[in-house]
Amino acid sequence: MKKIQISPSILSADFSQLGAEIKRLEDGGADMIHVDVMDGHFVPNLTIGPPVIKALKKYCSLQFDVHLMISPVHKYIEAYAEAGADIITIHPEATDNLKESILKIKSLNKKVGVSLNPESKIDLLKNILDQIDLVLIMSVNPGFGGQKFMPEVLEKIKELKKIQAKNNINFDIEIDGGINFDNCQLAIEAGANILVSGTTIFKSNDGDIKKNINLLKLK
């Protein structure tokens, strides 16, 4: 079984002091930093762009796990890579040519992730699972933090685990959306090895980040 990793979402951080918040996450035992990039078009919210990522990189040494919820995504990949994204995750529906976008990310020496919204089918990934590093399963409809977890998406994770075993391919399975102490075990048991969580990490137990990260890892 792969090591369980926590990728805290800075969508729930104090935006007036993001640099300090990222340092707190690193000190608290986060494995990477999850950055939600939204364009107000592909999803109904606007967040941050490449200059913010570039500025934040100097505050910690962790990998930046950047989830691009923007459309069309292809023309923005290079800007986020140059800003300091280490993992770039895109949606199949946000590009005209998924394979081309995957190759673009790889050509920039970045890890490739592909994300599925709750209603998106695994069939969208059928021919590319051996070319990517990560599948991100959304357990809420993307756009805003603090939403309720959708347990039905766990079936997708179980299906991905079967595909991995059958075809002997290896990629991380990440889950994002409403992850908390009540459902993290379900996600891990289904086969997820990277948990994205925002509200739970920043707000639970009086903001004790280290404690919250360990609880999500079932420690």
Which residues belong to the active site? 36, 176
Report the C-alpha gap between 95 and 92 in whole angstroms. Answer: 6
Beta strands in 26-141 (DSSP E): 32-38, 63-69, 87-90, 111-116, 134-138
Q: How many CB atoms lie within 10 A of CB 124?
A: 15
Q: CB burial class (10 A; 0-12, 13-18, 19+) of residue 126?
A: exposed
For residue 117, the number of C-alpha atoms closer than 13 Å in the C-beta half-sphere is: 13
Rounded to 5 degrees, what angle do the CA atoms 91, 203, 211 make?
Answer: 100
- 184, 213 contact by CB (below 8 A): no
Tokens read off for 209? 């980040």
- 148, 162 contact by CB (below 8 A): no
Report the C-alpha gap between 77 and 89 in whole angstroms. Answer: 10
Give Rg (Cα) of the chain.
16
